[in-house]
Structure 1
Amino acid sequence: MSTDQALSPVDEFKRDSNYLRGEIAQEFVDGSDHFGKSSIQLMKHFGVYQQDDRDARSANRAAGGGKSYIFMIRTRIPAGVLTSDQMLVELDLCDELGNETLRITSRQGLQHHGVMKEGLQPLAQKLKQVGLSTLGACGDVNRNVMCCPAPLFGDSVRREMQETASKLADHLAPRTGAYREIFLQDPETGEKEKIATGEVVEPLYGKQYLPRKFKMGMALPEDNCIDVYTHDLGMICVHENGQILGYNILVGGGQGRTPSADKTFPALGQRLTFVTTEQLIPVIEAIVKVQRDFGNREDRKVARMKYLIHNWGLEKFKAKVEEYYGSSLPEPHPADVHGFDDHKGWHAQGDGKWFYGLNVENGRIKDDETMQLKTAIRKICRQFNPGIRLTAHQDIIFSDINEADKEALIEILKSHQVPLTEDISNVRRWSMACVAWPTCGLSITESERALPGIIDGLEAELAKLGLAAEEFTVRMTGCPNGCARPYNSDVGLVGRAKEKYTLFLGGRLLGNRLSFIYKDMVPAGDVTPELTKVFAFFKAAREEGESFGDFCHRQGKEAIEAAVGQ
């Protein structure tokens, strides 16, 4: 491990924390409604973010008060696979301890928002009772392991992949007892972990954990529904005749960037090697250890593995992975992604039962005057006890539905005013937004609350142009961190200033190409008119069968500007 570089404040916090303990336990009982700087960073490893209600800031300041502290706590759910009982507990907890909404994340997890400090431990304890955990959902460790969640059981490939995702999540989880001590038992009376002399507490992560967050996911060549090229470590399952031969390993993806810092950039993964199923975990361990030992610990802006690979080059990186693994690694298998399925609507599972993929706009599960989605999901879980699968597009799948129950499930959704997947437009179906205001402290402007209105406008304009049937992704984030993966989508909208966005074009639904900046600082009200002009050009000049993203990529920024005018 390199020891000649200075450490960022966060790395110092981790180093001095006694394996993520720090002062968290003491601050839980100090009478305050928030935590200190060190604890804020350490608690991310337990799935917890300290935030403040940004909608309340102006009123608080006018009244001479401070911040209204709230917390987000995220459940780690490998491959997005849940039971109905687990989903019901999550729904109950959002009412009892959160802001009465639950959010499906773009990494197949679940988030509670608006939780108060005193609710964090009870929430984690109740999740534990049904086999769920928030440990490793955030922080400088491997986060939720993504995988195609579709319950297609005609062959064993997806089921084996989902099981492997769960094994990887367990294998790469932090080993420290801090989470158990602080969150799952009374910190004043609970028994502290006894560490034997010489025992290695974190054999994979070490005392300082990773330099930055680490994300991984598994996809199929014919179904890249988890955006495999956007991960620090991606795995493309190579299979023939229902048997998994192994995995192509991709390295160095990542969406975050800082517009004011040219040294930062979004990146797609690069093809590193092919490994058999038996080699998978040892090779992944080697990759994680290389990032642990050589990733930048001084500047968190460039601490992700994509920057290490950018600085070293893929050849040097692979040589170091081989050194850690202890053997040479072959070239990748020719297999690559070539298809994408969002798994929405009705599908036969292959075992005599059915699953239904329901579009959940921007992943927000709630009840309001227009729709009672939360109540509908509760009723479906109680009446049919389906399996629950969360997708990378923030949607929900109800699995294991009997043929005789299909109509009754749809009737529950209709009676609670929940739009069916079959009844929504393509542009809405393929849209996605991050949380942004009012809870995310990093957001510059709106996203989740702004995108539905933009989609309303696009629906009308696309219908006028006769392009309503086109399939393309629209992804929006409130800041450049890119949580909704806007940099490889057909249309990306990234918060740049209050109610202003950078407009990206030229990615693609398949997810294996980055987009380009078309226009910067676009006012929210101008987004739909700007896109409408480009869609009109697309209709007039597209090649036969060409997608919108491919068209924009072929034309490029200058040609589009010349065609549509300024």
Structure 2
Amino acid sequence: MADKLPEAEIIKRESRYLRGTIAESLADEATGAIAEADTKLTKFHGSYQQDDRDVRDERRKQKLEPLYMHMVRLRLPGGVLTPTQWLGLDEVADECANHTLRLTTRQTFQFHGVFKNKMRTLMQRVNALGIDSKGACGDVNRNVVSNVNPHESQLHAEIHRLSTEISERLMWRSGAYAEIWLGEECVHRVGEEEEPFYSYYYLPRKFKIALAVPPENDADVFANDIGLIAIVEGGELRGFNIAVGGGMGTTYGEPETYPRLGTVAGFVPAEQAADACVAITAIQRDHGMRTNRSHARFKYTIDDHGLDWLREKFTEYHGQPMEEARPYEFDHNGDRFGWVEGESGNHHLTVHIDSGRIADWDGYPLRTGLREIAKVHTGEFRVTCNQNLVIANVTPEQKDTIQALVDQYGLRDGTKATPLARNAMSCVAFPTCALAMAESERYLPTLVEKLDELMAKHGLSDQAVNVRVTGCPNGCARPYLGEIGLTGKALGKYNLYLGADHKGERMNRLYRENIDEATILGILDPMLERYAAERESGEYFGDFLVRAGIVEAERTPAMFHEALAAE
């Protein structure tokens, strides 16, 4: 007897190509929510239903339903947008959302606090800007991310073109999006195939693709189901090494779930890269686990069947085998801040954005400053995978104008934050994420301040350390690639992970479970003292922890889940 399919799999198969009853749910004025089954389908449309957890108890006492709202995430391949698009999204934040924009760890935007009656307006306004939210969430290929590389103008153009091509090739095709959000006439006819690639069952789980250009790994390429590592020879893009099976999510108490870094499987010429991504995604579509969603990511397909199986399937689906992987080397996985000059003679400024949240704060009019820059900027903006922003392709004639606005509004170009603060990342967590067990975005400034105090105490203020914090173990801010990683376990309690490298090539591993801030700082204080006294020239904190034997280098899922320190 065949294993029973989980509810989520049945819902999408019976959804009439992602239509469900979303339109009816939007029209229901008796509730701020949409139907439970439709919440599974709106993810494919780029939206998650949430509620404000800060007011749950109060509303329950008043016998009111939770304060339902939606998060809407956009599809923005490579994170590139024009100043006109920026200004349009800024207006949408006021008209339809909570007056903020949020840059995500996948190079795109999220709107928060979108009430049901504003959803269609938001989608239509975004569509008018030439942007959509198709596949920003759901069991399909997600937003394709890539290196920013502002100083390598021609190479970045090639990488961005390819990220857009892959995104378009793997975008879902159903008419549901246009019908539900844009008001177009229904075109669905029972029995007709609307999804030439995904069919009616789509993928077993989400799927992520990233492109990186060594020596820069700012896209954390190994954290993705497919990682394309550019091989550049003589200044020309020759092709890509393909890493497969990366993914950051895990579940507490289930050691059979684990984060995994992608494994390099081989090389393909540049002209075959998009076709190769389609072939590999099709392998996961056809062979990924569908009866157990906890085991449905591509990383488990790879581990269940092996790399040799994957290479054989690739040859079958792609029509020719991968070549042997070629040499490459990464040297960091963060952003480079401040001004750089590109090959074209134009200039690029990377601005630090705390947790990617763009708002006007007390004493820091960040959103207004970026709006004013967008009004005069003639280049483009590029969102980074580390929640920062590049004001790109500033002409020499415009550089002083942009810098004057940066100064006027106090934008943080990397000189106004410590190296630890510049490299810190967090997920949204409370109050809106239903999965959050602890604070993340709202807690990060406090944590960074206290960590910076420890760094200063030991004479390490100029040293970069990657800090990643999430409110749960699902890995949205890639906590398992932090030299210091925290994942929420309960209110005020976190699991502490230590020992990742500074290049995105080694995960950290569990050091202590379910501990509070005082314990975390108490553990890190003597470690930082030893690091200051015993580090080698150019040695990063995570590498020191491994070399000194404080943390073992993570190699297997079993080792990842094993805590070294006793409670």
TM-score by length of 2: 0.94
CA contact under 8 A between 2:546 and 2:552: conserved in structure 1? no
Within 5 Å, which residues of 2 pair with 1:537-556?
537-556=530-549
Specify the code of the residue in structure 1 equivalent to 2:209: M
- SS of the residue 2:530 aligns to: helix
**Is contact 2:351–2:411 with CA below 8 Å preserved after alignment?**
no
Cα distance in 2 between the residues matched to 1:461 and 1:386: 40
Aligned to 2:164: 166
Q: Give the Å deviation of 1:519.
A: 1.1
Partner residue, 1:250: 243
Which contiguous aligned blocks of 4+ residues in structure 1 show a shift greater than 4 angstroms?
557-560, 563-566
Shift of 1:222: 1.0
Shift in Å at residue 24 of structure 1? 0.6
> What residue in structure 2 maps to residue 324 of structure 1?
317
Shift in Å at residue 319 of structure 1? 1.6
**Counterpart in the other structure of 1:83:** 82
Asked if structure 2 preserves the Cα contact closer than 8 Å seen for 1:502 and 1:522, the reply is: yes
Query: Secondary structure in 2 aligned to 1:236?
Result: strand
Q: Which runs of 5+ in 2 are unaligned?
A: 554-563
After superposition, residues 173-252 of structure 1 pair within 5 angstroms as 173-185=171-183, 190-193=184-187, 200-252=193-245
Partner of 1:127: 126
Q: Which residue of 1 aligns with 2:106?
A: 107
Equivalents in 2 of 1:50, 1:565: separation in Å? 40
Checking the alignment, whether the CA contact within 8 Å between 1:221 and 1:339 is kept in structure 2 is no
On the 8 A contact 1:355/1:399 being kept in 2, the answer is yes
CA separation in 2, counterparts of 1:564 and 1:42? 43
Give the Cα separation in 1 of the matches to 2:225 and 2:128: 32
1:117 aligns with 116
Residue 284 of structure 1, CA deviation: 1.5
Query: How far off its partner does 1:321 sit?
Result: 2.3
| CA distance in structure 2 between the partners assigned to 1:38 and 1:184 by the alignment | 21
Change (3 A) 1:564 1:264: closer
Per the alignment, in what secondary structure is the counterpart of residue 475 of structure 1? strand
- Partners of 1:538 and 1:551 within 8 A in 2: yes
State the 1:543 CA deviation.
Answer: 2.9
Secondary structure of 1:45 counterpart = coil
Structure 1 position 56 matched with structure 2 position 66: no
Alpha-carbon separation, structure 1, partners of 2:479 and 2:261: 12
Q: How many residues align?
A: 556
What is the CA–CA distance in structure 2 between the aligned matches of 1:377 and 1:544, rounded to whole Å? 38
Counterpart of 1:220, as a letter, is V
SS of alignment partner, residue 168 of structure 1: helix
Quick one: which amino acid aligns to residue 439 of structure 1? T
Equivalent pair of 2:436/2:488 in contact (CA under 8 Å) = yes
For structure 1, list consecutive stretches of 5 or more residues without a partner in the other structure. Answer: none
For 1:137 and 1:558, the matched residues in 2 are separated by: 36
1:441 matched to 2:440: no
Give the deviation of 1:290 after TM superposition.
1.3
Structure 1 residues 559, 342: closer, same or farther in 2, change over 3 A?
closer
AA at the equivalent of 2:109: L
Tell me the secondary structure at the aligned position of residue 150 of structure 1: coil
State how far apart, in whole Å, the 2-side matches of 1:319 and 1:558 are.
Answer: 37
Q: Aligned pair in 2 of structure 1 residues 554, 22: CA closer, same or farther (>3 Å)? A: same
Instruction: State the secondary structure of the residue aligned to 2:199.
Output: coil
> Which residue number in structure 2 is paired with residue 282 of structure 1?
275
Q: Is structure 2 residue 390 aligned with structure 1 residue 397?
A: yes
User: Structure 2 matches for 1:273-312, cutoff 5 A?
Assistant: 273-312=266-305
Percent of aligned positions with the same letter in both sequences?
37
1:97 positional shift = 0.8
Structure 1 counterpart of 2:18: 20
Aligned to 1:11: 9
Q: SS state of the match for residue 243, structure 2?
A: strand
For 1:97 and 1:507, locate their aligned partners in 2 and report how far apart those are by CA, in whole Å: 39
Q: Partner residue of 1:68? A: 67
d(CA) in 2 for partners of 1:419 and 1:276? 40
Instruction: Report the 3-state secondary structure (helix = DSSP H, G, I; strand = E; otherwise coil) of the residue aligned with 1:421.
Output: coil
Residue 326 of structure 2 corresponds to 333
Q: What secondary structure is seen at the aligned counterpart in 1 of 2:137? A: coil
Q: Determine if contact 1:136/1:142 at 8 Å carries over to the other structure.
A: yes
| Cα distance in structure 1, aligned partners of 2:207 and 2:528 | 36
Query: Separation in 1 of the partners of 2:178 and 2:90?
Result: 23
Paired residues of 1:108 and 1:390 also in contact (CA < 8 A): yes
Tell me if structure 2 keeps the 8 A contact 1:15–1:208.
Answer: yes
Secondary structure at the residue paired with 1:334?
coil
2:340 to 328, 336, 347: 347
Amino acid across the alignment from 1:344:
F
Find the counterpart in structure 2 of residue 157 from structure 1: 155
Judging changes above 3 Å, is the alpha-carbon distance between structure 1 residues 153 and 135 closer, same or farther for their aligned structure 2 residues?
A: same
In the other structure, the counterpart of 2:475 is 482
Q: Which amino acid aligns with 1:112?
A: F
Is 358-367 or 33-42 further displaced after alignment?
Answer: 33-42
CA RMSD of superposed structures (Å) = 2.0
